[in-house]
A and B are shown apart, each in its own frame.
Chain A
Amino acid sequence: EVVLTQSLDFQSVTPKEKVTITCRASQSIGSSLHWFQQKPDQSPKLLIKYASQSISGVPSRFSGSGSGTDFTLTINSLEAEDAAAYYCLQTGTLPFSFGQGTKLEIK
């Protein structure tokens, strides 16, 4: 099974700051890595698919990169509405698996 490890469980950040969240896979998954945002009491929202593909309707300040085992979600110029939990998901190898999540708090 592929274990995904996100770099931080919690991060407190200020508006307009640049945020980087990393996700490391225990084995190569190619580009089959997706990023989600989840706000309290809401369903997850797809931000980036296949490591770097942008999603229609998602603000351009969200971007993704990486392949193989190391992936990054970058949020440029953080806004207050970005306070949420962020998860990576791998669909390269069954069983699929999520990272443990990174909760972003806006100062």
Chain B
Amino acid sequence: EVQLVQSGGGLVQPGGSLRLSCAASGFTFTTAWMNWVRQSPGKGLEWVARIKSKTDGGTTDYAGPVKGRFTISRDDSKNTLYLQMNSLKSEDTAVYYCSEIGLGLWGQGTLVTVSS
């Protein structure tokens, strides 16, 4: 079955760190360009980051609000995508989705709450 299964997330204090994971199956993960997208409660969708496949350079790109604090990475041996989130702020509170946009694949979403 083609799917993205997310894990991680939860409650973290401002200034803290958290790592999200996204396990891929049923498609060729190694050639996929993967993204993270988030959605604050009751709000619209916001693109967060993208990582290209290693064969295409493996380069990463970020949205302005998370640049320098978040790191997207991948482990092709485990078919897994990651999002390391540091120096978290209250405005980072959101449901985070991993996605292979072109294939129309989305994870189930995971809630990250930044609060003291």
Partner-B contacts on A (CB < 8 A): 1, 34, 36, 38, 43-46, 49, 55, 85, 87, 89, 91, 94-101
Contact = CB atoms under 8 A, between A and B. Distances in A.
17 contacts: A38-B45, A43-B109, A45-B104, A45-B106, A46-B101, A87-B44, A87-B45, A89-B45, A89-B47, A89-B101, A94-B50, A94-B61, A95-B47, A96-B35, A96-B50, A96-B63, A98-B45
A99 B46 CA distance: 9
Chain A CB within 10 A, most for which of B50, B102, B104, B106: B104
Interface string B88-99: 000000000101
Interface in B58-104: 61-64, 97, 99, 101-102, 104
Interface residues of B, number: 20
Contact of A49 (B37, B97, B104, B107): B104
B48 to A, nearest CB: 9
A44 B97 contact: yes
B108 interface: yes
Tell me if B's interface is mostly helix, strand, loop or mixed: strand
Nearest to A57: B104
Given A95-B61, A95-B62, A95-B64, A43 B45 contact: no
Contacts of A46: 101, 104
Contacts of B104: 45-46, 49, 55
A94 B102 CA distance: 16
Given A44-B97, A94-B61, A97-B47, 15 more contacts: A1-B64, A36-B45, A38-B45, A43-B108, A46-B101, A49-B102, A55-B104, A87-B45, A91-B101, A95-B47, A95-B62, A96-B63, A99-B44, A100-B44, A101-B45
